[in-house]
Amino acid sequence: MPDEYTDENPALGSLYAEHIAAVAERHDHALEQAGASHAVVYSGNPKIAFLDDYQLPFKPNPHFLSWVPLANLPFSYIVYTPGETPILIYYQPHDYWHVVPGAPAGYWTNQFDIRVVHSTDDIAQHLPTARDKCIVIGEIEDDASTFGIERVNPTTAVNILHYARGVKTQYELATMRLASQRGVVGHAAAKAAFRDGLSEFEIHRAYCKASSHTEPELPYSNIVALNEHGSVLHYTNLDRQAPAESRSFLIDAGAIVHGYASDITRTYSRSDSRFQDLIDSMDAMQLDIVNRVQAGVDFRDLHISTHKMLAGILVDAGLATGSPDTLLETGVTSAFFPHGLGHLLGIQVHDVGGFMEGESGTTIDPPSGHPFLRLTRELEENMVLTIEPGLYAIDMLLENLRGAPAENHVNWDAVDWLRPFGGIRIEDNVRVLVNGRENLTRDAFAQL
């Protein structure tokens, strides 16, 4: 694995202390509002498959990852007390069945008082004695994991932490640039595999190999869709046999670096010039949308503007007729583009806080008729979000237009032409600036 993806990365180390200071400040505020003195952040525990002894892939508590880049450290805790060095209770069991975590090492270690324990029975002695002054943050499935702390995920504190995570530190931005770079290497390999006529399964394997990810390490299940499968928004079936004819390819796949994700989508045509023209139109529109991203923009307005821009593409491509307002109001654009324009991105692919109006926890509803928009906040500097417009031939949604005024605005012959190609989605990861934006995805592709 390249050095930049490991715990020995000096560039990340130079930014990490400032990041920890920012995370500590958020917890200071959360503890004050919750009337508590200590935050105990639980990494989580592996899940066991039903009626089996098989452990499912471990997914850590994102609050734990915000402190320390340890994605495979179950049964561990961060103990934070304002004004003190955070304690990391590092669980390293004596186990000959599994590989256990190695000795703590890397750029992050000098920011913690690290207490290595070999048994969960040894954890309690490292927790604050005044349990009534503590809060626990994490997924608690067994009361024993709280060690007598009664306040678990208090809403006041958690809302503050979720809202604050919408804005990234310089360390987080650096890791997300690396995640974009890692992801586009996989995308390049997947594109080459498509050009070679390989199956969805083989394309997926090419992506994982090039990005150096096992499947459990991926931030989400790769969407690798040939032909009409591109119309299934979360297609993850991965046919083992290549189709007789590969007409189109939609790939939505990301990567992870130090717990932070990238989320990238591209669409390709093999040889059909008409479909390629439609991809080019969508690509130009996507860049136009990206160029509107800056601090102060209401993302709901950007989503609605995208629908009006898409209406123009539908008309130009002969898929629909009517004004942008008409196609929006009659539901035509939503039938072709049913999901949201984008979402916050970070430790989680769909990062928390996208609906939050403020740290009190009040939420902002998506626009009427657009229930799947995952980001309704006004954009702030150093947010990172996705911009991912789409255009699909989804039979179920298009058939819902039959018998309604929208039916007469759809060119059904053109829809029949589009169906074998499935659809188009183009997705970039974008950092918000005061008067502009940084496109992490396009920058990463430019470095290939």
108 HSE (CA, 13 A, CB side): 18
335 membership: H or E segment, kind and range = helix 332-336
Measured CA distances, 304 to 299, 321, 427 (Å): 9, 19, 17
Q: Which residue has the tokens 């915000």?
A: 66
Q: Starting at the edge strand that comes first in sequence, how are the strands of the sheet with 223-226 ordered? A: 223-226, 248-253, 264-269
Number of Cβ atoms within 10 Å of the Cβ of 351: 24
295 HSE (CA, 13 A, CB side): 9
Backbone angles phi, psi at 404, to 5 degrees: -110, 165
**Helices within 35-76 (DSSP H only):** 62-67
pLDDT of residue 171: 98
Q: Cβ neighbours of residue 219 under 8 Å, at least 6 residues apart? A: 254, 255, 256, 261, 262, 263, 349
* Token digits of residue 320: 């629909």
CA 269 vs. chain centroid, Å, equals 26
Q: Do the Cβ atoms of 336 and 378 come closer than 8 Å?
A: no
* Token digits of residue 428: 């970039």
pLDDT of residue 64: 98
pLDDT of residue 2: 62
CA distance 15 to 170: 7
CA distance 317 to 320: 8
* Token digits of residue 31: 């503890």
CA distance 1 to 350: 26
Q: Do the Cβ atoms of 251 and 225 come closer than 8 Å?
A: yes
**Below-70 pLDDT ranges, the chain:** 1-8
* Radius of gyration of the chain measured on its C-alpha atoms: 24
Q: Which amino acid is at 71?
A: A
CATH architecture under which domain 170-446 falls:
Alpha-Beta Complex (3.90)
**Helices within 109-261 (DSSP H only):** 155-164, 170-195, 200-211
CA distance 434 to 448: 28
Q: Which contacts of 360-364 are long-range, i.e. CB under 8 A and separated by 24 or more positions?
A: 360/159, 361/155, 361/159, 364/300
CATH homologous superfamily for the domain 3-164 = Creatinase/prolidase N-terminal domain (3.40.350.10)
pLDDT of residue 96: 86
The domain locations on the chain are 3-164, 170-446
Closest CA to 254 of 393, 374, 347: 347
The backbone region for 138, taken as left when phi is positive above 0, alpha when psi lies in -120 to 50, beta otherwise, is: left
Closest CA to 70 of 29, 108, 32: 108
CA distance 192 to 202: 11
CA 403 vs. chain centroid, Å, equals 38
Q: Quick check: pTM over 0.75? A: yes
Burial class (CB in 10 A: 0-12, 13-18, 19+), 270: middle
286 membership: H or E segment, kind and range = helix 273-290
CA distance 6 to 10: 10
